[in-house]
Amino acid sequence: MDLFDLSGRTALVTGASMGIGLGLARALAAAGVRVVLNARGAERLEEAAATLRVEGAGVDILPFDVTDAEAAARAIDGYEARRPIDILINNAGIQHRAALEGFPVEAFDRLMRTNVNAAFYVARALAPHMIARGRGRIVNIASVQAALARPGIAPYTASKGAIVNLTKGMATDWARHGLCCNAIAPGYFDTPLNAALVADPEFCAWIERRTPAGRWGRIEDLAGACIFLASDASAFVNGQVIYVDGGMTACL
């Protein structure tokens, strides 16, 4: 089990004040990782950090706007001056639902900046530090929507498809330097981002019928894939996407 040992490592998790980001931070902390929580709001990060500290986790907060490349670089360089970041979980993301023919241009731009640009900005800021050390793990959070589409979320689908190919590009450029860059693609999970869908009985019934596992995903279902991709167990896994979707993409 030494291959999965993450003791003493440090992970930066973006979008970590709630939902999947906080859940992945909790899973990594339980595996012995010091977690660095990122979001824009320091107050919500402090609340999330306090929750994890009660559970015995080593936690720092690093508030900055992931859609601001210069802010991301300043924050990461500043933290790296004190402690190396071994693992990056690029999780920050938003959703906007609207018919494509009337989708607001400003909403499209905001969605792309948050879901795609931010992953590039944060990874670009951290990669030189990892390259200098000759090792690092980058885990980008994609979505089942990278492979499938539904009405009303075409730009979100485009953004997650971009994350999959950005992941492949990261692996292509950085694997030779000792970095492993992969993605996790969750299916439909019961998270704040999906609150409106979870509250819709008709949609919930559709999820149960459409997913071979017969249920919504739970955040803890992502822990194993995250620990695998963050650890030495995945040392020769690069540019790959692990769909954690209860079998949704496996069937018609």
Q: Catalytic: which of 121, 156, 188, 243? A: 156
CA distances from 159 to 88, 113, 176 (A): 19, 9, 27
Is residue 121 among the annotated active site residues?
no
Catalytic residues: 156
